[in-house]
Structure 1
């Protein structure tokens, strides 16, 4: 395996955030734990594409993407002219900087300059819990998904309170799409218990291990 080169290292309220390059690809490490890389963005793109397909009859739908990550989801949304407003929530200022002036800009492909795009530097869980604008789609890619989080505070998003907050931020019939590093029947049950309908999952096979998953559900 190629040796990783540290490109930047920052301290934040959530701990240490590191950007590394390995074999031509970038990696984001949080508090010593691998979080994401730029090797394969298929499931991150599916997160947005599947939500858009569910909204085929909606003109100029709005979407909230959380978080920015390595930019695959945002770039895919910005490449689709059918989307109206595109908001992206990212709590790590370092990640936003790495897209604006650093090497991750190559993967978000200039999407931050799209006039439809607004970058919200805040915590996603807190943002959803606050009263505010509703969206036609929430595309959430936070931590490793509902069953394994690097940051314990992210557990709140996948519990009853977090799912209720997500539902409150959706327009009637709006779509909730959640990325996960593994399938989760328990989370599908949690979505139904929270009042969502049409709960289903789409999988993308990965080179090793269990497939990545996008959980999909609608606000009734």
Structure 2
């Protein structure tokens, strides 16, 4: 008989209800009743960062869009390559969970001296800063074709890609996580940023996770 997930924390945010649940030592995050992410795998999230860092020089400035359960940040902090790691995460509650139950999945990296957490909507924040990055890793919602919040959909359209491009340093790379292949998005990415490499990560059920890696032309 399967045990039921236990609610660890529940919070009401500006975007609705956010719930952290635990089952058999793993956690899952539920947004307004919709499954968002869990801690059971993480291979593709780590690949997202690893592929981006492999394509840039030492001392790189890295931006991660979306903290999630922390796999991407942990991978970045485990590398000596980035000199500065900026994480944009809209939910202060989620950031707080990384100083609690989720801390082991982000390897305590929110307190790494190279790490700065910007608690803001990524699109809004990018419009207010002139910072540029050698690598941008985008893991917002579940990718270009399944966004939990409608406001995030624009980030994957031409205007959003133009905004991301404006914050890439010469020779920079944009890595994008997706829960499934999106040929239309890959075409937009190539048109806006540059040549695209598609990396697939098999999952136990369903379509492979996908990482798109685009190099600024």
Task: Say whether the 8 Å CA contact 1:6–1:18 is kept in structure 2.
Answer: yes
Alignment of 1:7-156 (within 5 A): 7-55=8-56, 58-100=57-99, 102-156=100-154
| Runs of 4+ that moved beyond 2 A | 128-131
Q: Deviations over 1:70-117 (max 9, x none)?
A: 0000011001011110000111011000001x1000111111111100
Task: Say whether the 8 Å CA contact 1:66–1:124 is kept in structure 2.
Answer: yes
Task: Say whether the 8 Å CA contact 1:43–1:213 is kept in structure 2.
Answer: yes
In the alignment, the residues of structure 1 paired with residue 162 and residue 153 of structure 2 have an alpha-carbon distance, to the nearest angstrom, of 14
In the alignment, structure 1 segments of 5+ residues that lack a partner are none
In the alignment, the residues of structure 2 paired with residue 176 and residue 164 of structure 1 have an alpha-carbon distance, to the nearest angstrom, of 12
C-alpha root-mean-square deviation of aligned residues, in Å?
Answer: 1.0
Question: 1:128: Cα distance to partner?
Answer: 2.2
Question: 1:129: Cα distance to partner?
Answer: 2.7
Aligned to 2:184, the other structure's residue is in SS state helix
In the alignment, the residues of structure 1 paired with residue 3 and residue 43 of structure 2 have an alpha-carbon distance, to the nearest angstrom, of 23
Question: 1:131: Cα distance to partner?
Answer: 3.5
In the alignment, the residues of structure 2 paired with residue 146 and residue 104 of structure 1 have an alpha-carbon distance, to the nearest angstrom, of 25
Q: Which moved more, 1:125-134 or 1:197-206?
A: 125-134
In the alignment, the residues of structure 1 paired with residue 10 and residue 123 of structure 2 have an alpha-carbon distance, to the nearest angstrom, of 24
Aligned counterpart in structure 1 of residue 211 of structure 2, from 211, 214, 217: 214
TM-score, scaled relative to structure 2:
0.97
Aligned to 2:195: 198
TM-score, scaled relative to structure 1:
0.96
- Name the count of aligned residue pairs: 216
In the alignment, structure 2 segments of 5+ residues that lack a partner are none
Task: Say whether the 8 Å CA contact 1:129–1:162 is kept in structure 2.
Answer: no
Question: 1:130: Cα distance to partner?
Answer: 2.8
